[in-house]
Structure 1
Amino acid sequence: MKRLLYLICVVVFAAGLVSCNKDNDDPTPDPVVGTWSSDRVRIGGLPAPYSSENGRELDALTQFGINTSFVIKSDKTFTETDRSGGIVDDFDGTWEFSGTELTKKYSDGDEVSLTYDAAKNQLLSETFAVQDSLTNPTTSKLELVSYTLQLVYKKQ
């Protein structure tokens, strides 16, 4: 009888140890959750003789008038305010994050993908093509030049 009582005590004690763990049931939030704002614009794809400017980063607000901020929420929704060019627009939608890619799905059906750079804690837009009139440093003539821009967002 003592053995049976001892065995029952051991089983109950073992069950108690197994049921107690230090695991936190709260999942780690995605690194993109938080408030982000437009910070700079990265230049690329410039042909010679302008190629020395490739990789240069310019202030998004003072150089381009871009002033966008968005809040990525843990409930998989986001809100965004764009104050570019003197106009204020508000947007909302849902988001997904996989690997390093954040996809924002706006309520109007548009989608925007951003790449998360963990080392710099930045979000990078896809590059987009632009054209501008630039003065050739060799000939001093004004020329239409094609190149790319990329928006860089920083976490607040």
Structure 2
Amino acid sequence: MRKLLYFMSLVVTLAGLTSCTKDDDPEPSPVVGRWAIDRAKYSGFTGEFAGNNGREEDLSNSTLTGFSDEFEVKSDNTFVGTQRANGLVADYQGTWVFGSNQLTLKYDNGDEETLEFDNSRTPHKLTGTLIPTSQRFLNAARDTVLVNYNVQLIYAKKN
């Protein structure tokens, strides 16, 4: 009887110790962290300007480009960021959701943006949707013409 009592005490003690182990913290979303503008990718050019399709422009050096955009995706499903262009500064914030490799930013002003998450390279990348753009270019005949094309902004993870 004494051995049975000793054995039962040991089982209860061990059960109590194992039930007190700390649960593993859930893995944070892969999009949590700091992101900064890295490059712009161009598409949608036609005619003599079609050679610009697929071209990527480095935007990572704001001293050269006059433009920067950095934001932090926080684990509490909020984000904050700052965009700088030609001496102007704009802060922004909102909430986010992530699923199916898509990060959706819901800005406090009501706007919404979806970025495609790419973890196949380091640093990880977020690619924005196509932004229709128009700009005047000099063509081969030395005439200034209005050209329509698309820009995609690509962000790189900083931590």
TM-score (norm 2): 0.80
Q: Between the two proteins, what is the percent identity of the paired residues?
A: 42
TM-score between the two structures when normalised by the length of structure 1: 0.81
Alignment of 1:12-27 (within 5 A): 12=12, 15-16=15-16, 19=19, 24=24, 26-27=25-26
1:32 aligns to what SS in structure 2? coil
Task: Give 1:17 shift.
Answer: 7.3
RMSD (Å) for aligned C-alpha atoms = 2.6
Report the Cα distance in structure 2 between the residues aligned to 1:33 and 1:97, rounded to whole angstroms: 10
Once the two structures are TM-superposed, the CA of residue 21 in structure 1 deviates from its matched residue by: 5.9
1:117 alignment partner in structure 2: 118
Letter in 2 for 1:4: L
**Which residue is 1:68 aligned to?**
69
CA offsets per residue over residues 38-91 of structure 1, 9 Å max, x none?
Answer: 121100122243323211111234786431111111111111111113211111
Secondary structure, counterpart of 1:145 in structure 2: strand
For 1:129, the aligned partner's letter is: P
Which string of whole-angstrom CA distances, capped at 9 and with x for unpartnered residues, describes residues 21-44 of structure 1?
Answer: 6852x1111111111111211001
Q: Deviations over 1:73-128 (max 9, x none)?
A: 11111111111132111111111111211111111211111111112301111011
- How far off is 1:20 after superposition? 6.3
Gaps of 5+ in 1: none
Query: Equivalents in 1 of 2:134, 2:105: separation in Å?
Result: 27
Q: How many residues are matched? A: 154
Question: Separation in 2 of the partners of 1:143 and 1:87?
Answer: 29
Q: Give, in whole Å, the separation in 1 of the partners of 2:82 and 2:63.
A: 18
Distance 2:136 2:110 in 1: 34
Q: For residue 67 of structure 1, give the secondary structure of its aligned residue in structure 2.
A: strand
Listed as ranges, the gaps of 5+ residues in structure 2 are: none
Q: Are 2:137 and 1:129 equivalent residues in the alignment?
A: no
Change (3 A) 1:62 1:148: farther
Q: Which amino acid aligns with 1:49?
A: E
